[in-house]
């Protein structure tokens, strides 16, 4: 079996594909299990899974997948909530040398069908609550191997029960060699209405994340509270290092601010990775200050810029360090702001992380000095293999410096100050981050444009107290149309994934455009940004 590559863009970022990783994530977790035995690895809704039992179940999944005929880099799709079974499957797939593909429950059935087909899934693990999302398309999943439909918590014709399947497998660790270029997982950037865009992350990238998080303070004995979904890279960046180092992971099936505080106090949680909207909701809890959060050592924030005022509130009221991480699922470079150490830089996203190189470039690709605004580009050892089966899209986001070294184009506008701190200003492609998840305006616009009453439309992100940002659709109706705003919004939302919903819809007589016909979204946003301060 050989490692496959999607693009050549990353060859200078990772070790050669033929080199074996001695300290890979599956091996580190197996070593942790031998060390820790009866200590808890996973805590979920009051039940603990010991390291010994967790490791055995991960090996059973791995051996079961190998018995089904899966080979290196074959894709294993997982559509379930944040449960121990889903986590076990994820790491079992990786241990088997396969590639885990956690899928979003926020996508529509049509989007999920495209994703499962696009990733060439050989096995699909499914929970009962997700059945309506895929059952209508099951007949079209021709790449699934015989016996490759596995049900976590339901019985149905054609499906194999997870626990019975697991019990029939060998318990020994297959102990495969894992190469830096081997696929670790594939994450879809969003549930899009067009062709899905799968981000392939390899073992070299994940090992880099483990090393970086270890230096940040992740260690054996830590207790990490995971409250974001398994299909989010936000979750994986925190959970993988926590388990690789032999920590305990407390899983939340679904985020709830009050329950987060209860679990944090009960389990003496030391670490958490949260998105900004979660911080806002937690801090807004009426009895926040009554909970004992003194065990916290490190709180991480990512997925969207954390407002300076919220950072100050966290520093004032929540024990432990606060570190903001800016970066993309695709990788490239990242920045880190230790808010506790730099309280005068809270409006920034920090300095380039160790091992990262970040620049701001102009439209011609020239590197700009401090103070000037341009597109943020970055490189590090944390770089995706590429967009799955889309080398054209991969090459399109690569910028090369004068030495020919590849950098990832982030699509974000920013500037550096004189001290080397990066300040983000806007997103070139008008991506909206709502509740920590990426929403692309073009997807919402393409749906709204299908309605007979719509003559013109622009979707922008506006500030929202609950979600951080919410999509606002500005629509020009066709002459004679009398459709109401709420009626049109509901029509569009029925055709969009849950994470893509239009938050508000307003009618306009026209939309401002440039001399070449491009809608001026910055101008549209300005009044809403001003109103929000």
Q: What is the b/e burial string over 235-263, where b = at least 16 CB atoms within 10 angstroms of the residue's CB?
A: bbbbbbbbbbbbbbbbbbeebebeebbeb
Position 1 scores a pLDDT of: 25
User: Structural domain tally of the chain?
Assistant: 2
Please enumerate in sequence order all residues whose Cβ is within 8 A of that of 423, keeping only pairs 6 or more positions apart, or say none: 347, 348, 349, 414, 415, 416, 417
Span 264-276, pLDDT tens digits: 999 999 999 998 8
Place of tokens 């997807």: 443
66 belongs to a structural domain = yes
Cα end-to-end span (Å), the chain: 57
Instruction: Compare 186 and 197 and report the one with higher pLDDT.
Output: 186
Percent of the chain with pLDDT over 90: 68
Position 518 scores a pLDDT of: 59
Position 530 scores a pLDDT of: 74
**In terms of DSSP bridges, do strands 75-79 and 99-102 run parallel, antiparallel, or are they unpaired?**
parallel
Q: What is the CATH number of the domain that holds 483?
A: 3.30.300.30
Span 77-119, pLDDT tens digits: 999 999 999 999 999 999 999 999 999 988 889 889 999 999 9
Query: Of 178, 204, 230, which residue sits at a domain end?
Result: 204
Confidence check: pLDDT of 514 > 60: no
509 belongs to a structural domain = yes
Beta-bridge partners for 361: 367, 375
- State mean pLDDT over 415-434: 84
Q: Which domain range does residue 97 map to? A: 16-204
399 belongs to a structural domain = no
Beta-bridge partners for 99: 75
**In terms of DSSP bridges, do strands 223-226 and 271-274 run parallel, antiparallel, or are they unpaired?**
parallel
115 belongs to a structural domain = yes
Q: What is the CATH number of the domain that holds 59?
A: 3.40.50.980
Reduce the DSSP state of residue 352 to 3 states and report it: strand
Reduce the DSSP state of residue 282 to 3 states and report it: helix
Confidence check: pLDDT of 8 > 60: no
pLDDT tier, 529 (very low <50, low <70, confident <90, very high otherwise): confident
Nearest-angstrom CA–CA distance, 478 and 507: 11
Position 13 scores a pLDDT of: 42
Confidence check: pLDDT of 20 > 60: no
487 belongs to a structural domain = yes
Position 503 scores a pLDDT of: 92
pLDDT tier, 4 (very low <50, low <70, confident <90, very high otherwise): very low
Helices (H), 422-532: 441-448, 485-493, 521-531
Query: Of 153, 174, 204, which residue sits at a domain end?
Result: 204
pLDDT tier, 16 (very low <50, low <70, confident <90, very high otherwise): very low
pLDDT tier, 217 (very low <50, low <70, confident <90, very high otherwise): confident
299 belongs to a structural domain = no
Nearest-angstrom CA–CA distance, 330 and 108: 23
Confidence check: pLDDT of 75 > 80: yes
Mean of all residue pLDDT scores within the chain: 89
pLDDT tier, 11 (very low <50, low <70, confident <90, very high otherwise): very low
Position 416 scores a pLDDT of: 97
- State mean pLDDT over 126-148: 92
Span 495-509, pLDDT tens digits: 998 888 899 999 999
Nearest-angstrom CA–CA distance, 356 and 410: 14
* Closest by Cα among 126, 123, 195, 200 to 383: 200
Position 323 scores a pLDDT of: 96
Span 285-327, pLDDT tens digits: 999 999 999 999 999 998 877 878 889 999 999 999 999 999 9
Task: State the CB neighbour count (10 A cutoff) for residue 161.
Answer: 15
164 belongs to a structural domain = yes
- State mean pLDDT over 148-172: 96
Count Cα atoms within 13 angstroms, Cβ side, for 206.
33
Tell me the Ramachandran region of residue 169: left when phi exceeds 0, alpha when psi lies from -120 to 50, beta otherwise. beta
* Alpha-carbon separation of residue 402 from 92, 366, 406, 407 (angstroms): 42, 9, 10, 11
Span 346-361, pLDDT tens digits: 989 999 998 899 999 9
Nearest-angstrom CA–CA distance, 73 and 388: 12
Please enumerate in sequence order all residues whose Cβ is within 8 A of that of 324, keeping only pairs 6 or more positions apart, or say none: 300, 301, 302, 305, 306, 311, 336, 337, 339, 349, 350
Query: Of 180, 204, 228, which residue sits at a domain end?
Result: 204
Structure tokens at 491: 């029509």
| Structure-derived torsion over alpha carbons of residues 102, 25, 381, 1, reported in degrees to the nearest 10 | -80
Instruction: Compare 35 and 139 and report the one with higher pLDDT.
Output: 35
Task: State the CB neighbour count (10 A cutoff) for residue 456.
Answer: 17
166 belongs to a structural domain = yes
Position 474 scores a pLDDT of: 95
**In terms of DSSP bridges, do strands 406-416 and 422-427 run parallel, antiparallel, or are they unpaired?**
antiparallel
Q: Rounded to two decimals, what is the model's pTM?
A: 0.83
């Amino acid at each position: 079996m050989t490692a496959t590559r999607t693009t050549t863009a990353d060859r200078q970022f990772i070790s050669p594909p033929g080199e074996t990783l001695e300290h890979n994530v599956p091996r580190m977790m197996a070593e942790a299990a031998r060390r820790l035995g009866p200590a808890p690895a996973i805590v979920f809704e009051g039940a603990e899974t010991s390291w010994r039992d967790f490791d055995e179940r991960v090996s059973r999944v791995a051996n079961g997948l190998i018995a089904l005929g899966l080979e290196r880099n074959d894709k294993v799709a997982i559509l379930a909530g944040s449960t121990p079974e889903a986590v076990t499957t994820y790491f079992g797939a990786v241990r088997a040398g396969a590639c885990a593909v956690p899928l979003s429950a926020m996508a529509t059935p049509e989007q999920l069908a495209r994703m499962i087909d696009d990733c060439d899934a050989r096995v699909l693990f499914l929970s009962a609550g997700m059945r309506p999302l895929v059952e209508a398309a099951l007949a079209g999943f021709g790449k699934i191997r015989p016996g490759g439909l596995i049900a976590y918590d339901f019985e149905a014709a054609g499906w194999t029960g997870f626990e019975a399947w697991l019990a029939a497998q060998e318990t020994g660790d297959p102990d495969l060699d894992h190469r830096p270029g081997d696929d670790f997982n594939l994450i879809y950037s969003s549930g899009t209405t067009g062709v899905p865009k799968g981000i392939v992350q390899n073992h070299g990238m994940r090992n880099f994340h483990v090393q970086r998080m270890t230096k940040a303070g992740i260690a054996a004995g830590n207790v990490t509270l995971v409250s974001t979904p398994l299909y989010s890279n936000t979750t994986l960046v925190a959970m993988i290092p926590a388990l690789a180092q032999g920590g305990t992971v407390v899983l939340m099936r679904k985020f709830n601010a009050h329950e987060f505080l209860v679990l944090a106090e009960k389990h003496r949680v030391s670490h958490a990775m949260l998105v900004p909207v979660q911080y806002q909701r937690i801090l807004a809890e009426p009895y926040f200050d009554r909970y004992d959060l003194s065990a916290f050592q490190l709180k991480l924030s990512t997925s969207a810029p954390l407002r300076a005022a919220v950072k100050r509130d966290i520093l004032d009221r929540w024990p432990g360090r606060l570190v903001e991480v800016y970066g993309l699922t695709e990788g490239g470079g990242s920045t880190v702001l230790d808010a506790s150490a730099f309280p005068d830089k809270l409006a920034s996203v920090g300095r380039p992380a160790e091992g990262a190189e970040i620049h701001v470039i102009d439209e011609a690709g020239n590197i700009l000095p401090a103070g000037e605004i341009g597109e943020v580009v970055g490189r590090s050892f944390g770089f995706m293999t590429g967009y799955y089966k889309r080398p054209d899209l991969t090459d399109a986001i690569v910028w090369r410096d004068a030495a020919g070294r590849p950098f990832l184009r982030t699509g974000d506008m920013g500037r550096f100050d004189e001290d080397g701190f990066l300040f983000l200003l806007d997103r070139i492609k008008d991506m909206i981050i709502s509740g920590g998840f990426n929403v692309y305006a073009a997807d919402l616009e393409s749906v709204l444009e299908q309605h007979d009453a719509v003559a013109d439309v622009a979707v922008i992100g506006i500030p929202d107290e609950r979600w951080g940002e919410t999509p606002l659709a500005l629509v020009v109706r066709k002459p004679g149309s009398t459709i109401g705003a709420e009626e049109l919004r509901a029509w569009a939302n029925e055709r969009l994934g849950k994470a893509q919903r239009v938050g508000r819809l307003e009618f306009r007589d026209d939309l401002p455009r440039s001399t070449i016909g491009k809608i001026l979204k910055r101008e549209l946003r300005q009044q809403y940004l001003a109103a929000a301060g």
